Amino acid sequence: GAVVSQHPSRVICKSGTSVKIECRSLDFQATTMFWYRQFPKQSLMLMATSNEGSKATYEQGVEKDKFLINHASLTLSTLTVTSAHPEDSSFYICSAPNPTSSLLGDTQYFGPGTRLTVL
């Protein structure tokens, strides 16, 4: 199946710094990618939809100026957490839809996730 990678897998940073997380589709092109966040013992919550060549679409309650998304190419989307604070500590996971399926609600291929800890 399609493979999605994320980098880094784990990052620890000081409060106030910015952290960039990369999401890559390795063997297919993705015009759309999704960014989710998962707090401990909670489910995945969709943060934003990353669109190649246009602005990202953010979910209600997600600050677009804090979580900067750039979909620079058909295989790369980046999420930058600006001025990170301890409450931003979470598991960030990206996904991309199945490029070969035309069915509604295409299968999402998930990256391995990035564990962010803000001290």
Partner 1 sequence: QKEVEQNSGPLSVPEGAIASLNCTYSDRVSQSFFWYRQYSGKSPELIMSIYSNGDKEDGRFTAQLNKASQYVSLLIRDSQPSDSATYLCAAARGGGADGLTFGKGTHLIIQP
Closest CB to partner 1 among residues 16, 59: 59
CB of 37 to partner 1, least distance (A): 11
Q: How far is the CB of 58 from partner 1 (least distance, A)?
A: 12
**Considering the complex, what minimum distance in angstroms separates the CB of residue 74 from partner 1?**
16
Question: Is the CB of 52 or the CB of 106 nearer to partner 1?
Answer: 106
Q: How many other β-carbons are positioned within 10 Å of the β-carbon of residue 91?
A: 16
For residue 40, give the 3-state DSSP assignment. Answer: coil
| Burial (0-12, 13-18, 19+ Cβ within 10 Å), 28 | middle
Given the rule CB under 8 A, which residues bind partner 1?
32, 34, 36, 42-46, 49, 91, 93, 95, 97, 103-108, 110-113, 115
Q: Residue 19 or 93: which CB sits closer to partner 1?
A: 93
